[in-house]
Structure 1
Amino acid sequence: MSTRDLTQSIMRRKPLNDIEEENKHSGLFKSLGLWQLTAIGVGGIIGVGIFSLAGLVAAGNEDTPGVGPAVLISFLIAGLASAAAALSYAEFAGMIPRAGSAYTYGYVALGEVIGWFIGWDLLLEYIAIVAVVAIGISGYFEAFLSGLGIHLPTWMASTPDEGKGGIINIPAILVCLLVTWILSRGTKAFGRFELVAVAIKVVLILFIIGLGVFYIDTNNYNPFMPSGFGPVLAGSATVFFAVFGYDAMSTAAEEATDGKKHMPKAIVLSLIVAMLLYVAATLVLTGMQNYKDIDPAAGFASAFTSVGLPVIATIISVFAVLSILTVMLTFLLGVTRVWFSMSRDGLLPGWFAGTDKHGTPQRVTWIAGISSALLAGVFPIKAVADLTNIGILAAFVVVCLAVIVFRYKRPDAPRTFRLPLMPFIPAFGVLASALLIWQLPADTKWRFGVWLIIGLAIYFFYGRKHSLMNPNSPRHAEAEEMHRPVG
């Protein structure tokens, strides 16, 4: 094959007209309305960011200095970068209501190899997110048991890298398996659970803010930025984990009752609600307790204990576990739908795209769930969070670039939402995401690079040859039949 032919094959784009026909044969059930979609988005955004990462960045650790009350600035920087990407996602979601999210957007706008890379990236990152959240839940679960006078053996509640003498994080493993089982029951049941759990989560955070504001000591805000702006910017790269989630929600587009209409609204609504709650919560957290004394694993439980309210701390620990579960559910849903979409397109074996009577891709659900359990069991939270962030930031770069390219290549494509100030907002999203990637540790970048190299090998040895877009693929004729007009 000539260099030109190779380039054309890897840069082939998925036709926009094929999307709706494929959706009719997906096997996924359409059962999610606007408020359920918004709940999935809020459920994915709000969770470990407030309950774990806010305290971690504010207090710091042996590797990074604490940023103190300026953790608020870290969240705002991350939120600004995320908002630019959110608007880009909203435009694509209104055009392409299909499982796959950034993978599909990249495939349609930039070509197959770009779509593959971002899909392969998301498989790792979403699994890593589920693992991060499970580790965060484990911390609050320990805090809850400690409040009852029960202390888990160190060997079974922490990992070797945490320096506590641990071997494996069994609570984190068990919670990964629990959410996998919940998701395996079907999207309709999942949507109902998510709506109720997110409502409980929002009420809990409002309760924390409403009660905590009476225990704020303004002396704790001084100094506001104890370590300078550099650590604040680096902290924004870590808490970036806390300001996305709508991207995973967009992977459920094929299961929305009216994806083109509801997806853009749900994306914007979920980010607005989350950022308002984050700003208020971080002010309360760093106002109640000096940043040096905050427990990185269970920040709010630590803060309420410090003001003489251990019972409230116990209540927070219980409901934090429930509320953080929604984050795991959202991203486990995300990884299974990206995997399903890549398999349906022929880039991964079609065996993974099989669905059951609930309209759920059971095989990839359990494979992803068990993989996240293994990751959560042996790695510390910051290492997994950084690995997650670099992947999502890379996805945001691709989506922001793709929305610019597609607006100029296909200005005629019907859009239920048009991103304003084109191309300035998505260009800002590219630059901001790239800057945050630069702030991440070198070992995180190396791990990410190795994963992409593995993905490149799989694509050239399997995906490129079996793609439905490849005329010589065994499944190409099947795809042609699906897209052939009737009559």
Structure 2
Amino acid sequence: MVIVKLVIIVLFLLVGAFYVKPSNWHPFMPFGVKGMFQCASTVFFAYLGFDAVSSSAAEVKDPDRNMPFGIIGTLIIATVLYIGVSIVLTGMISYTKLNVADPVAFALQAVNQNWLAGLLSLGALAGMTTMMVTMIFSSSRLVYSTGRDGLLPKTLGKVSANHSPLHAMTVVTIVIAILGGLVPLDQLTNLVNIGTLIAFAVVSFGIIPLRKRKDIPNHGFKVPFYPVLPIISGLMCIFLMTTLSKETWIASLIWFALGLLIYFTYGINHSQLAQKDNSEK
């Protein structure tokens, strides 16, 4: 399915390039710098897939070498494709007409390329399918790790006979299905965005004290330009969060409070660290 998506994207770039009108790029930034950053925070969920690579670290052969290649490599490829699609799309048709649910297919239909528009719609279905599979895969590994550490019920930290976290995948699938069916897409997207930005900010700032830990061996990839790059990364995540709506912040605070409630009523007493401390006493 990934190959199908990539082929269709390349086809769109090749065909759409013949219909680009440079006049459509004026004004180049119609909503100014503020609008650009608001857009960046709105589409940030598109980069959530790279987080899926890191969550599968326990199942990767030679993670010190392969995970940096996987994360950085896919990040570069996807960014180039995102930029290419944006350039061609906004060059084919004015941005004022692209406020539709399927802008790429809409642009192709506007230039009478209906065959490619239909093909692209099939690619979009493949894209949504792989996205859901990826999110269930990555989220279930995070839930599994949390359950294994005792912060959630330990049944979520167990694997089945074929070495997959079946219980965690089942719970994650049910939660995703409920949220996808009951929560409006725009609100769900914004909630995912702010959650991802918070997580990335924590990871960025967390690198600083972790690098100083002598009890954690690290012979693999190390973030360059330490500590300047982690600080810039964390601050940029916080800045993008400030461009999100008040409703998104309120929903995020509710989720955050729910997480704290679970932690202080269950996780803090059942964690492996707490059990170790109790045994030492």
TM range (shorter): over 0.9
Distance 2:211 2:165 in 1: 33
TM-score, normalised via structure 2 length: 0.94
- The residue type equivalent to 1:214 in the other structure is F
What displacement does 1:411 show? Answer: 8.9
Whether 1:270 aligns to 2:74 is yes
Distance 2:268 2:151 in 1: 7
Q: Which has the higher contact order (CA 8 A, sep 6+)?
A: 1
SS of equivalent residue, structure 2 residue 180: helix
The C-alpha deviation readout for 1:231-284, integer Å capped at 9, x for no partner, is 221111101112232112211111112222211111111101111111111001
- Residue of 191, 197, 213 corresponding to 1:387: 191
Partner of 2:44: 240
What displacement does 1:415 show? Answer: 2.6
Whether 1:464 aligns to 2:273 is no
What displacement does 1:228 show? Answer: 2.2
Whether 1:254 aligns to 2:58 is yes
Partner of 1:445: 249
Map 1:311-350; keep pairs closer than 5 Å.
Answer: 311-350=115-154
Distance 2:228 2:51 in 1: 21
- Residue of 424, 428, 450 corresponding to 2:228: 424
- Residue of 204, 208, 218 corresponding to 2:22: 218
Partner of 1:307: 111
Distance 1:349 1:250 in 2: 23
The C-alpha deviation readout for 1:430-458, integer Å capped at 9, x for no partner, is 11000001111111111111111121121
SS of equivalent residue, structure 1 residue 469: helix
- The residue type equivalent to 1:419 in the other structure is V
SS of equivalent residue, structure 1 residue 359: coil
What displacement does 1:324 show? Answer: 2.9
The C-alpha deviation readout for 1:211-234, integer Å capped at 9, x for no partner, is 110111112111222222222211
- Residue of 211, 215, 226 corresponding to 1:407: 211
SS of equivalent residue, structure 1 residue 330: helix
Partner of 1:201: 5
What displacement does 1:472 show? Answer: 6.4
Percent identity of paired positions between Structure 1 and Structure 2: 33
Distance 1:408 1:361 in 2: 32
TM-score, normalised via structure 1 length: 0.55
Partner of 1:284: 88
The C-alpha deviation readout for 1:168-215, integer Å capped at 9, x for no partner, is xxxxxxxxxxxxxxxxxxxxxxxxxxxxx2222111111111111011
- Residue of 228, 231, 241 corresponding to 2:35: 231
Distance 1:413 1:374 in 2: 40
Aligned-residue RMSD, C-alpha: 1.9
What displacement does 1:413 show? Answer: 2.8
SS of equivalent residue, structure 2 residue 272: coil
SS of equivalent residue, structure 1 residue 337: helix
Partner of 1:293: 97
- Residue of 237, 260, 272 corresponding to 1:433: 237
Contact 2:8 2:119 in 1 (8 A): no
Quick one: structure 1 residues 464 and 359, their matched pair in 2 at CA, closer, same or farther if it must change by over 3 Å? Answer: same
Distance 1:295 1:289 in 2: 11
The C-alpha deviation readout for 1:264-309, integer Å capped at 9, x for no partner, is 1111111011111111110011111111212531111111001111
SS of equivalent residue, structure 1 residue 203: helix
Unaligned ranges ≥5, structure 1? 1-196, 478-487
Partner of 1:50: none
Quick one: structure 1 residues 255 and 209, their matched pair in 2 at CA, closer, same or farther if it must change by over 3 Å? Answer: same
- The residue type equivalent to 2:47 in the other structure is V
What displacement does 1:350 show? Answer: 0.7
- The residue type equivalent to 1:200 in the other structure is V
Map 1:23-172; keep pairs closer than 5 Å.
Answer: none
Contact 2:148 2:158 in 1 (8 A): no
Contact 1:343 1:351 in 2 (8 A): yes
Distance 2:31 2:181 in 1: 32
Whether 1:365 aligns to 2:169 is yes
The C-alpha deviation readout for 1:83-131, integer Å capped at 9, x for no partner, is xxxxxxxxxxxxxxxxxxxxxxxxxxxxxxxxxxxxxxxxxxxxxxxxx
Contact 1:215 1:307 in 2 (8 A): yes
Unaligned ranges ≥5, structure 2? none
What displacement does 1:384 show? Answer: 0.9
Distance 1:452 1:235 in 2: 24
